[in-house]
C-alpha cells in the first residue's frame, strides 16, 4: 500500500514508475520495482539517521 501512495505523491517514485511503464514494463512489475526502491530509500534513511531529502532536480532547456 505504501508503494501505491508513493507512486501517486512522491515525485521521485512517480517518475521512476512512469519511466518503467513507458519502457514497456508491466504495471505490476513496475510497482514491485517501486516497492523495492522505497525499501532501499527507507533503509538508507534509518542507516544514516537522516530525514527524507528529495534530490535536487534542475531543469535544462
59 part of a folded domain: no
State what percent of residues in the chain have pLDDT above 70.
90
**What is the arithmetic mean of pLDDT over 39-50?**
92
Residue 54 lies in a domain: no
Q: What band does 61 get if pLDDT is binned at 50, 70 and 90?
A: very low
CA atoms within 13 A of residue 60's CA, in its CB half-sphere? 0
The confidence score (pLDDT) of residue 54 equals 76
Residue 16 lies in a domain: yes
In a domain, 23, yes or no: yes
Structural domain count of the chain: 1
Instruction: Tell whether 37 is covered by a domain.
Output: yes
Contact indicator for 57, 44 with CB cutoff of 8 Å: no
Confirm whether 28 is domain-assigned. yes
Is there a domain that residue 55 lies in?
no
pTM over 0.95: no
Residue 56 has pLDDT above 80, yes or no: no
Q: What is the pLDDT of residues 14-33, one digit of tens each?
A: 999 999 999 999 999 999 99
The pair phi, psi for residue 42, each rounded to 5°, is -65, -40
Domain hosting 39: range is 2-48
Amino acid at each position: 500500500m505504501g508503494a501505491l501512495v508513493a507512486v501517486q505523491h512522491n515525485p521521485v517514485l512517480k517518475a521512476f514508475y512512469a519511466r518503467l511503464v513507458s519502457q514497456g514494463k508491466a504495471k505490476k512489475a513496475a510497482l514491485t520495482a517501486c516497492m523495492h526502491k522505497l525499501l532501499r530509500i527507507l533503509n538508507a534513511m534509518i542507516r544514516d539517521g537522516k530525514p527524507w531529502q528529495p534530490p535536487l532536480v534542475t531543469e535544462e532547456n
